Amino acid sequence: MSPEATASGTLPAKPFMLRRRWSLRGAFNATMNGVIALTTLLAVIPLFSVLYMVIAKGAAHFRFSMLWQLPPGAGMEGGGFGNALVGTLVIVALAAALSVPLGVTAAVYLTEIGHRGWFSSAVRFATKILSGLPSILAGVFVFATVVATTRKFSLFAGALALAVLMLPIITLATEEALLRVPRALREAAFAMGATTSQAVWQVIVPAARSSILTGISLAVARAAGETAPLIFTALFSDYWIKNLLEPTASMSVLIYNFSGVPYENQLNLAWSASLVLIAVVLVTNIAAQFVSRRR
């Protein structure tokens, strides 16, 4: 592994061959190489264990009818997580509709308009702090403002809580994407007589489109798996959504609710729901990585 360890003495051309074959330094070096190799192996074990468990336990009882049936009551057989799947999709879509325009426009301000002003520094700092905000506090905030005033748990409140979490991720990812757009493109746009908004929406943002979409899909994947902001905003429901102002089921809250129950069927359903959720999240992540690595 290290120069010392691989030195066999048969290749006289390399200068380090002249050293003693065994030394304390070399032994320490080789040991430490082994130690960090071991830590890396140890670190990747949980991922495979999680994947194995979710696939083994989730697939064992999986039925396609789960995708369109309602959750079973305690002790009942059958059922599924159809309403939770729809609920997650609608909540996350609404959260994205709220946070994406705001986040992208904020990033445009940061890179194309304000750039290095004190205001931009303040925005950047606030965004970074927001991105480290515990997700449950987003739930607390929305509970105290929306749920407490409307006196109702609702899909809308859940979407708002997720939007609070998505906003900083989208802003930071878009800013990074816009910063990578070559300056020459901006010069060309302005030389053609474009106004700032024309340059932004017709040249700069389209040039960064794929990285921006990568950032957005990562934010969406993260939001789809979030539970803490939803448990006391969107709450849960055993029925299909009727409107945006009612408690709504989501995949993550279903997994949480069914994880601690003594009923076999509900517990199996939690694993199958995990399988679906993890598949969506990981496929999004892998696709996003693939797109961003390819360029």
Partner 1 sequence: MASSGSSLPVAAIGLEKLKRVRRDVPWFKGIAASSAASAILLLAAITAVVTFRAWPAYREFGLGFLWSRQWNPITDRYGALPLIFGTLTSSLLALALATPLGLGVAIFLSEDLLPAKVRVVFGFVVELLAAIPSVIYGLWGIATIIPLTTDVGRWLFAHFHTVPLFSTPPVGPGMLPASIVLAIMILPTIAALSRSSLRNVPGAFVEGAYALGATRWEVLLQITLPSAWTGIFGAIILALGRAMGETMALAMLVGNSNRISPSLLAPANTISSLLANSFGEASGVQLSALMYLSFILMAMTLLINFAAQGMLNRPSRWERLRS
- Smallest gap from Cβ 238 to partner 1, in A, equals 16
- Smallest gap from Cβ 125 to partner 1, in A, equals 7
- Smallest gap from Cβ 235 to partner 1, in A, equals 7
Q: Which residues of 187-196 are buried (b: 16+ CB within 10 A; e: fewer)?
A: eebeeeebee
Residue reference for tokens 């408690």: 247
Single-letter amino acid code for the residue at 15: P
Region of residue 78 (left: phi > 0; alpha: psi -120 to 50; beta: else)? left
Among 163, 160, 208, residue whose Cα is nearest residue 181: 208
- Smallest gap from Cβ 222 to partner 1, in A, equals 8
- Smallest gap from Cβ 252 to partner 1, in A, equals 5
Q: Which is nearer to partner 1, 64 or 118 (CB)?
A: 118
- Smallest gap from Cβ 39 to partner 1, in A, equals 3
Q: Which is nearer to partner 1, 94 or 104 (CB)?
A: 104
Q: Which is nearer to partner 1, 90 or 160 (CB)?
A: 160
Q: Which is nearer to partner 1, 12 or 193 (CB)?
A: 193
At CB < 8 A and 24+ separation, what contacts does 181-188 make? 181/207, 181/208, 182/207, 186/112
164 phi, psi to nearest 5 deg: -60, -40
Please, what is the Cα angle at 73 between 68 and 74, to 5 degrees? 140
End-to-end C-alpha distance for the chain, whole angstroms: 32
Q: 223 near 95, Cβ under 8 Å?
A: yes
